[in-house]
Amino acid sequence: MVQVGLVAYVEEQLEREISLRRLPRNGQLGSEHVLALRYGVSRSTVREALRRLAARGLVVQRPGRVARAVALDES
């Protein structure tokens, strides 16, 4: 079972990286495995955080592909 606190933590960290534009030019966030290692959580925790970000329109997920951040306004 995924702990809600960890999901919220990963979601917040990824949102911060997106908003501060700390991503590669292509906007790729990295694989679930890489993100899980980075944040010290399980892949299911990362998967749920990415699902939440996708529901909010911050990332795009496609099966078999690495999640990408949606382009933010330059304003």
Domain annotation covers residue 41: yes
Domain annotation covers residue 75: no
* H helix or E strand, kind and range, residue 59: strand 59-60
Q: Which two tokens stand for residue 44?
A: 């299911």
Q: Are residues 68 and 60 in contact, defined by beta-carbon separation less than 8 angstroms?
A: yes
Domain annotation covers residue 17: yes
pLDDT at position 41 is 97
pLDDT at position 3 is 62
pLDDT at position 72 is 59
- What is the CATH number for 52? 1.10.10.10
Phi, psi of 63 (to 5 degrees): -55, 130
Q: Which residues of the chain have pLDDT under 50?
A: 73-75
- Domain span including residue 58: 4-69
pTM assigned to the model: 0.83
pLDDT at position 2 is 61
pLDDT at position 71 is 65
